[in-house]
Amino acid sequence: MSAHEILKVLYAPQKAFREIIQNPRYIGPIIIMILFVAANAAATYALASKTYVEKTFPTTKDEWTENATLWQPVDGVYPTANHADYIEGFIYGNKSIEFTVKNSTEISMQLDNMGSINCSGQDGYTKLYVRIKFTSPDIAPKNVSIYLYSTASSFFYRDLTEKFSSTTIDIWNNLTISLADGNWSRVGDADWANITGLKLVFDWSEKSDITVLVDGLFFGGIYVPYAENITAYLASYSAFSFMQFVIRWVFLAGIIHIMSKAFKANTVWRVTLILIGSALITMFIQALVNTVVFSTTLPLIKYPFAYIGGVEGESVTAYNQILEETSLVNQIYSYVQAAIIIWTIALCGLAVRLSTGFSWAKSFLIAAVAYFAATTIESFLVR
């Protein structure tokens, strides 16, 4: 079957369907299926090449604030796990680390043996995320400092006092701290390419009982491609596309065939299957349009840590920002999808009309019911 014969379904569907009824061959739908899988792979590549996800360290869970034994006792302050007060989210655990000291003006917390973390250059992490909550005393600290160590005597430090005020007491403070910028001071031979430890220091003006909780400690700021192994990703998605086409083809043709038989039509399953498979050339057209739109219109999509973390409210806000940035593409996609649905139903209705002799109204009714039934079934089978 030539490309001209396959494309005839687009510009002369009535003639194309009559020829199929006279000489039904599976080669046409099979070629259309191959074209759809290829075009869908191209669309997927175009989308994946513009989609980036923020990489964090630790990579999966907030392991540093799940295990109190990782923190060093400082000035007699022994960290403990708090199972009642913590941040809930996709990559957060079910506890925070609590630090308590009696009758003091200062409390410190130190995390060593973090590994060698690169926070310099284009390949290094550029941000530090941490959640901090102090439940007592009921006044803001007069000074908050953070230290990032390369060795025991070489470190960077900066003042974080401005990030805390009286309104931040007894609530979780979500801190995003930029790394390797002008706000840091260097002591010794500290190297941003080799960060091995962290220390937080809180100071108050008067002695009191102090309790500070820490959760959700991550390095971030590096964006990596959504599909780092693009070959494996495309292979997987091509298999998905193949299953999508086959399921829609078989169920759509099957429902149309059953409904036609119910209305006493003298139809042949092979003819119905080939007609509907040919009508699904619209799936190839949709994938082709998606490829063009994703390649030319889609901006770079960056899924930030706020979205990945999955904290209630924060994740939704981050996702809404992405939707706003991609609103034009989403709008085009919606219009194209609506047009393809109408077009597919029209082609299926024409196929029913020519193969059964039903009225136009009955033919399009069968096509519409069958299409939505088949796509509903498909949504359950292909996820």
Q: What is the pLDDT of residues 96-150, one digit of tens each?
A: 999 999 999 999 999 998 999 999 877 899 999 999 999 999 899 999 999 999 9
The model's pTM: 0.85
267, 347: one domain: yes
**Domain count for the chain:** 2
Q: What are phi and psi of 275, to 5 degrees?
A: -60, -50
DSSP-based three-state secondary structure for 208: strand
Distance of CA 213 to the CA centre of its chain: 30
- Mean residue pLDDT of the chain comes to 93
Question: pLDDT class for 1, splitting at 50, 70, 90?
Answer: low
Given this model, what pLDDT does residue 2 score? 63
Q: Do residue 144 and residue 286 come from a single domain?
A: no
* Domain's final residue, options 223, 247, 274: 223
What DSSP string describes 36-70? Answer: HHHHHHHHHHHHHTTEEEEEEESSSS-GGGT-GGG
Of 223, 252, 284, the position where a domain reaches its end is 223
Rounded distance between C-alpha atoms, residue 6 and residue 36, angstroms: 13
Find the domain containing 145 and state its range.
Answer: 56-223
Instruction: Tell me: do 349 and 234 sit in the same domain.
Output: yes
pLDDT in tens, 341-351: 999 999 999 99
Shared domain check, 233 and 328: yes
End residue of a domain, out of 163, 193, 223? 223
Same structural domain, 255 and 365: yes
Q: Of all residues in the chain, what percent carry a pLDDT higher than 70?
A: 99
- Please choose, from the candidates 63, 91, 69, the residue with its C-alpha nearest in 3D space to the C-alpha of residue 81: 69
Query: What is the pLDDT averaged over residues 48-73?
Result: 91
Q: Domain check: are 206 and 253 in the same one?
A: no
Dist. CA 276–CA 349, nearest whole Å: 10
